[in-house]
């Protein structure tokens, strides 16, 4: 079983749609959670951290359910520029930035 599991997609959605990505992690000791974004043939970049209470950054909302070991990312009003691969990432406390990445979910936003 992979440590971090994601649906690889692709998710093809029209511009303006709302899309949700889900992720599960296997190590219950995981303490820090993130979403990274990776554009085609580019390096990953931090999109947002995920907090237990849930958090929002503009059109992006992240949720964490520790009991179910489940993380989600919601994108509202999708833009063409949101097309990318979204990587679910976890880290152990004291991991010192040693991150475990999921395989990523590919999003394609279309006109």
Are the CB atoms for 28 and 15 separated by under 8 Å? no
76 touches 59 (CB < 8 A):
yes
- Positions 92 through 111 that interact with another protein (CB under 8 A): 93-104
Residues 6+ positions from 41 with CB-CB distance below 8 Å:
none
Q: Which of 71, 89, 107, 109 is in the footprint of another protein by CB under 8 A?
A: 89
Count of residues of this chain found to bind another protein when the rule CB under 8 A is applied: 27
- Determine whether 87 is exposed, middle or buried from the number of CB atoms within 10 Å of its CB (0-12, 13-18, 19+): buried
Listed ranges 14-22, 52-60, 70-78, 88-96: which one lies at the site for another protein (CB under 8 A) = 88-96
DSSP class of 58: T
Contacting residue, 7, 8, 57, 74, with another protein by CB under 8 A: 8
The site string for another protein over 16-55 (x = CB under 8 A, - otherwise) reads ---------------xxxx-------xxxxx--x------
């Amino acid at each position: 079983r992979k440590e971090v599991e994601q649906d690889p997609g692709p998710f093809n959605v029209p511009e303006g749609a709302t899309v949700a990505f889900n992720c599960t992690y296997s190590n219950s000791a995981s303490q820090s959670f993130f979403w990274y974004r990776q554009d085609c043939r580019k390096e990953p970049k931090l999109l947002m951290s995920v907090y237990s209470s849930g958090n929002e950054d503009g059109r992006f909302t992240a949720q964490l359910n520790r009991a179910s070991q489940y993380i989600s990312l919601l994108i509202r009003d999708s833009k063409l520029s949101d097309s990318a691969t979204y990587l679910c990432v976890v880290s152990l406390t004291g991991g010192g930035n040693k991150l475990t990445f999921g395989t990523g979910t590919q999003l394609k936003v279309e006109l």
